[in-house]
Structure 1
Amino acid sequence: MDKPLKAPPPYAIRSVDNALRIATMLQLEGPLTVGEVARRLGVASSTAHRLLAMLVYRDFAVRDADRAYRVGPVLELAAHSQSAAARLRAAALPHLHRLVELLGESANLTVRTGDTVRFIASVESRQALRVGSREGMVFPAHRTTAGLLLLAELPPDRLAALYTAGRYDQYPDDRPDLDALRTELARVRRNGFVVNQGRSERGVVAIGVPVRAPDGEVAAGLSVSMPSARYEKERLPALVGTLRTVADALERDLTR
């Protein structure tokens, strides 16, 4: 089995984590007030204000005349335009909340860029033992639930092109076994879902289904993540069925 990619550092610094989460929220969602940031992080308004002030000092954020904060020059985002990822995220958030209510596990929406995927939306479970927010995080596509769903849609020549050029010339050990990957992606296409047991992160099981855009192309992966201790294989058909129902509802919203 591949070595898991990411695990929380043994001495995590909460304030640093919160500051990075704010930067991600500003980049993906647009302007936010101090109160909105405080509610999202579960901290006092004074704490949110201090974190935002530091981001402004380091040019990760700027404060507008209406007292809302938006991304600063370091993040190089077009502040007054809404990206396709931002529109997809806005449409998906109500469905992610519904998925958390139905299954009691954390829910995510992920998109692919080249050979990597990025979590553009994440809603945490309310259970004490839960998988935390992955919003803004980037992983190699072939190591994640949604990444496999999105790679499975690529024609063979485009898949090969992803892993035969660029950084893989310099770091060949990072290149996946293409024959094994093709076999796995064929299974993904047949099944229509992916089960990822500890492949991206030790102790975490993720299950995902594709979300299609109005043109029929797979636009994103919709997934739930749970501690491996809570995963029961017998529940897999029910979990996939619920994911598919929510994905269908999101696809209808995207069509409208």
Structure 2
Amino acid sequence: MAPGKSVTSKVLALLDAFTPGTPELTLSELARRSGVSLPTAHRRAQELLEWGALERSANGSFHIGLRLWEVASLAPRGLALREAAMPFLEDLYEVSRENVQLAVREGLELVFVERIAGRHAVPVLTRVGGRFALHATGVGLVLLAHAPSDVQESVLAAPLQSYTPKTVTNPMRLREILAAVRRNGYAVSDGQVTLDALSVAAPIKGPTGVVAAVSLVVRAETAQPTALAPLVMAAARGISRALTVP
């Protein structure tokens, strides 16, 4: 980290050092990954411990504290959306017994804000609070299709990661898919994240336009997208109404 950075920037860098792959860090690892000096990391980590943003494990390493989760849960796009969506997500799960996911766009990525995992459903790579690329998942395709044009162009101009041999990374082909999503009212991602999974997603609309997307993720070998689409679209319409009705 460059000299002269504010205390706030250093604190945020410490928190940003934690990732799904590194949820627990020693003090030296925390300092190295955040780019701050060891003494500074020690002082700031102690303050975060006292406030509850960090907690210590039995072995002395640090992990994110429950207090930070409590504050994050108050984010309007997460809390209000989840409260409005949950009855419809639960209904969608009850009729399908498959994975149900709810996501919003954050910049050039998506963030999963809720999910219901089917006990015997296909395994998925998603987690609540996790980020993912927009071009591969069903919810991502929906959010990208309805994103502002500058967002779409930024995503299409950047290198598109290939997760499986079926991941669409050709910008021209992706433009065609996004147009079909807008035309049909739903998206299908078949084997683009993992070969054994297929997702069907639909847009959730708020007063200002599309604000989120909901999806079902099922086993690709048994999936019938045209049969699943009406279920997902009905859930999306229900959540949309809940968001727009005072």
TM-score bracket, normalised by the shorter chain, equals 0.5 to 0.7
Identify the range of structure 1 (136-145 vs 83-92) with the bigger mean alpha-carbon deviation. 83-92
Identify the range of structure 1 (81-90 vs 108-117) with the bigger mean alpha-carbon deviation. 81-90
Q: Report the CA distance between 1:70 and its aligned residue.
A: 2.5
1:51-97 Cα offsets, whole Å, 9 max, x none, are x8739962511xxxxxxx4327xxxx845843322321222122111
Which one-letter code corresponds to 1:219 in the other structure?
V
1:200-249 Cα offsets, whole Å, 9 max, x none, are 1221111111111123x111111001122332x3xx33311111111111
Query: Match of 1:219?
Result: 211
In structure 2, C-alpha distance between the alignment counterparts of 1:157 and 1:79, rounded to whole Å: 28
Matching of residue 110 in structure 1 with residue 114 in structure 2:
no
- Equivalent position SS for 1:96: helix
Query: Match of 1:238?
Result: 227
1:110-138 Cα offsets, whole Å, 9 max, x none, are 111122112110001233x4335632222
TM-score normalised over the length of structure 2? 0.65
Do the aligned partners of residues 79 and 149 (structure 1) sit closer, same or farther apart at CA in structure 2, a change above 3 Å counting? closer
Verify the 8 A CA contact 1:152 1:188 in the aligned structure 2. Answer: yes
Matching of residue 58 in structure 1 with residue 51 in structure 2:
no
In structure 1, C-alpha distance between the alignment counterparts of 2:130 and 2:107, rounded to whole Å: 15
Do the aligned partners of residues 253 and 178 (structure 1) sit closer, same or farther apart at CA in structure 2, a change above 3 Å counting? same
Matching of residue 70 in structure 1 with residue 67 in structure 2:
yes
- 1:69-148 to structure 2, matched below 5 A, reads 69-71=66-68, 78=71, 81-127=74-120, 129-132=121-124, 134-148=127-141
Verify the 8 A CA contact 1:205 1:227 in the aligned structure 2. Answer: yes
Unaligned stretches of 5+ in structure 2?
1-19, 24-54, 163-168
- 1:129-208 to structure 2, matched below 5 A, reads 129-132=121-124, 134-164=127-157, 168=158, 172=159, 174=161, 176-208=169-201
Q: Report the CA distance between 1:163 and its aligned residue.
A: 4.3
In structure 2, C-alpha distance between the alignment counterparts of 1:79 and 1:191, rounded to whole Å: 35
Q: Report the CA distance between 1:250 and its aligned residue.
A: 1.0
- Equivalent position SS for 1:182: helix
In structure 2, C-alpha distance between the alignment counterparts of 1:173 and 1:130, rounded to whole Å: 25
Unaligned stretches of 5+ in structure 1?
1-16, 21-51, 62-68
- Equivalent position SS for 1:154: coil
Verify the 8 A CA contact 2:202 2:215 in the aligned structure 1. Answer: yes
Verify the 8 A CA contact 1:117 1:141 in the aligned structure 2. Answer: yes
- Equivalent position SS for 2:142: helix
How many pairs are equivalent? 187
Bigger Cα Rg: 2
Indicate the structure whose relative CO is greater, using CA pairs within 8 Å and at least 6 residues apart: 1
Query: Match of 2:35?
Result: none
Q: Report the CA distance between 1:104 and its aligned residue.
A: 1.6
Do the aligned partners of residues 141 and 89 (structure 1) sit closer, same or farther apart at CA in structure 2, a change above 3 Å counting? same
TM-score normalised over the length of structure 1? 0.63
